[in-house]
Chains A and B, each alone.
Chain A
Amino acid sequence: QKEVEQDPGPLSVPEGAIVSLNCTYSNSAFQYFMWYRQYSRKGPELLMYTYSSGNKEDGRFTAQVDKSSKYISLFIRDSQPSDSATYLCAMSGVSGGSNYKLTFGKGTLLTVNP
C-alpha cells in the first residue's frame, strides 16, 4: 500500500461548481497536512496548511482532515477557470525534525470549464 493515495483524475467541472479533492494515507504518524496548487509548467505553490484533525478555511478554499479515517480533503467553492491546475496533497509526521521531508500524492488534474 502506498503511503499517500490521490486520484489523478482528470476532473472536469463547470464554472461555479463545488470541487472536492481527496487523499488517503496509511501512516498514522502524519500530523501536518498541506495542499499545493501547480499550474502547467510551473512550480507548486502552497495553498493550505493544517495540523491534526479539523477544518481550515481560506476564502473559497476549505481543507479538512480526518485522522481517524486517514483522509484529507480540499474543497473549492464557486470554482473559477483560474482554478484549473494540478492539486497535490502533502503530509509530514514530525514537526521540528531535522529534515522536514514531505510525502506527496501524485496530484489531481482539475479543469474548470467556463
Chain B
Amino acid sequence: SQTIHQWPATLVQPVGSPLSLECTVEGTSNPNLYWYRQAAGRGLQLLFYSVGIGQISSEVPQNLSASRPQDRQFILSSKKLLLSDSGFYLCAWTSGSTDTQYFGPGTRLTVL
C-alpha cells in the first residue's frame, strides 16, 4: 500500500530564516505531487505541483519554491520566511490514472 510522509510535523521559525519541508511517498512510482497551504478560513491553496522529476509548476507568486530531486521526494523551500508564510502545509500525491489526491499528515509552520 502507498504511504506519504511529511516532516517535520511542527516548526517554529523566526522571520527571515530559511525553510525546508520534505515530503516522500512510498509504494508507488511516478506519482504527481502537490504542495498546499491551508490557512484558517481560507481553504486549501495549491502552491506547486509536479508531474515528474525536475518538473515543477507554480500556482501562485510567493517567496516559496519547490523541488523534486527524486521520483518520490518533494521539497518546499524558502530563503527568507515572512510572517504571512505561517500555516498548515500539506503534501499530496495522485497516481497517473485517477484524480483522487491522498494527503500527508501536514506540517504546521509558525513564523514569529
Contact = CB atoms under 8 A, between A and B. Distances in A.
Interface of A: 8, 32, 34, 36, 41-46, 49, 88, 90, 92, 95-96, 98-102, 104-107
A33 to B, nearest CB: 9
Interface stretch (B14-22, B41-49, B61-69, B77-85): B41-49
Contact of A106 (B6, B42, B46, B94): B42
Interface in B67-112: 88, 90, 94, 97-106, 108
B53 interface: no
Contacts, number: 53
A32 B99 contact: yes
17 contacts: A8-B41, A41-B88, A42-B105, A42-B106, A43-B105, A44-B103, A46-B102, A49-B100, A92-B99, A95-B99, A96-B97, A99-B57, A100-B101, A101-B49, A102-B99, A106-B43, A107-B43
Interface string B26-44: 0000001000000001111
A43 B44 contact: no
A35 B88 CA distance: 20
Tell me the interface secondary structure of chain B in the complex. strand
B44 A88 contact: yes
A104 B43 contact: yes
Contacts of A98: 51
A61 to B, nearest CB: 15
Nearest 9 interchain pairs by C-beta: A106-B43, A43-B103, A92-B99, A104-B44, A32-B99, A43-B106, A44-B103, A100-B94, A100-B99
